[in-house]
Amino acid sequence: MANSTLNAMLDYEKKAHDAASKTINSLFSLIPRGNDKWGENIIFENNFDLIFSKMAANTMGIKLARKTPVIAIQRTLFPILQHNIKKADLSSVWINKLSSLNQDAKLKFPSDFKTEALNTIYHIDNDKSHLKKDERGVVIKVKKTSTLFKNIFGKKKNELIKEYFSFPSIKGKKEEEVESIRLQYIEKCIPVFVEISASCDYAQQNPRALKYLFGIKYPIDPTIAKPSSGEYKFFTPSFLLNDEKFAIILNFRYIYGFQITNAILDEIIFKLSDNLINQIGNRYANYASRIGIISHE
C-alpha cells in the first residue's frame, strides 16, 4: 500500500478518535460534581446516570430507550460525534488522493469493485442478536405454508412472485429447459415483510398493529429474470451478504397490520437502515396520497 494512501487512512482514523474524545469530554464537562469529597464520585456518578438516562429517553422515547438502552445511548451520542467529525480538518493528503474528483467527467467505480458490498455496509444490520419482529426496518421471511400464504395474499407463492419479473428468452435453450431454469430462480426468491411503522409511534412504543410492507428478496441474475417496473414498487439497492448478490422489491399495494405473534411472520433476516426505511416511507406516502385533478375543457 502506498504511503500516501496509508497516511490518508490513518489521518481519518486519528481525526475520528479525536472526535470521539471531544464528544465524551464535552458532555463530561457539563455534569455537576456537587460537593463530593476528594476521592469520592457519588454525586457525579448519580448525576451521570440521571443526565445520560434523560438524554437517551429524549432521543428515542422512554419506552424504547428502556427496551434498548445501548442503541438509545448510541443514537444520543451520534449527532455530537458526527458534528465533531465534520469540524475536523482532514490532512492535505486527502486532497492529493482525490485527484479523480476534479479530473474525471464521469466518475465510475473500478470494474472489480463490489458496489453491492458497499451498499450492505451502508444499509444492512446483520447482527440478529438484538433484532426483534416489532423493530422498525426489520426484514422478516413470510411463512411458506401454502394455505396460510394463500389466505393472506389470495394467491400461491410462485404465482405472486412471477408478477414481479419479466423473463427474457435464453439463447440456445429449449422452452422446457428455460421454464425449468425460471422455476429454479423463483424458488430462490424469498417473500418478505418489512416493518415500516411511523418513526414517532416506534420511538414512543405506542400500542399499534405493526405495519408490514410485502416484498420479494431476489437474487440478481438479469439473464434469467428482470424486475418489472411500476409506481407502486420500490427497489432497494443491490446488496452482497454471505456471498449472495440480491435486492428487494417492495409492493405498496400489499401492506398489512399484524401483531408479532402472527403465524405468517417467520424468521428475521436482517434490518434495513433508518435512512433507507425513511426513503421507503416517504415513497409510500407519496404513492398513497397521489391526487388526481378533475378538469373540464
pLDDT at position 245 is 95
pLDDT, mean over the chain: 85
DSSP characters for 190-213? EEEEEE---HHHHHHT-S-PEEEE
Which of 12-16, 62-66, 288-292 is least confident? 288-292
Mean pLDDT of 34-62: 83
Report how far residue 102's alpha carbon sits from residue 106's, in angstroms, rounded to the nearest whole number: 10
C-alpha cell at 72: 438509545
Mean pLDDT of 82-104: 76
Mean pLDDT of 185-213: 80
CA atoms within 13 A on the CB side of 231: 6
pLDDT at position 189 is 94
Report how far residue 217's alpha carbon sits from residue 257's, in angstroms, rounded to the nearest whole number: 20
Residue of 133 and 146 predicted with greater confidence: 133
Which among 167, 265, 171, 275 has a CA at the least distance from the CA of 212? 265
pLDDT in tens, 139-169: 999 988 778 888 888 888 888 888 888 888 7
pLDDT in tens, 248-259: 999 999 999 888
Mean pLDDT of 266-285: 93
According to DSSP, the residues that pair with 141 across neighbouring strands are: 192
Position 214 confidence tier, pLDDT thresholds 50, 70, 90: very high
Report how far residue 147's alpha carbon sits from residue 152's, in angstroms, rounded to the nearest whole number: 9
Decide: pTM greater than 0.75.
yes
Residue of 187 and 148 predicted with greater confidence: 187
Domain ranges of the chain: 3-103, 115-288
DSSP-derived letter for residue 238 is P
C-alpha cell at 52: 445520560
Position 206 confidence tier, pLDDT thresholds 50, 70, 90: low
Report how far residue 183's alpha carbon sits from residue 97's, in angstroms, rounded to the nearest whole number: 48
Report how far residue 149's alpha carbon sits from residue 160's, in angstroms, rounded to the nearest whole number: 10
C-alpha cell at 93: 493528503
Report how far residue 155's alpha carbon sits from residue 142's, in angstroms, rounded to the nearest whole number: 14
Residue of 171 and 28 predicted with greater confidence: 28
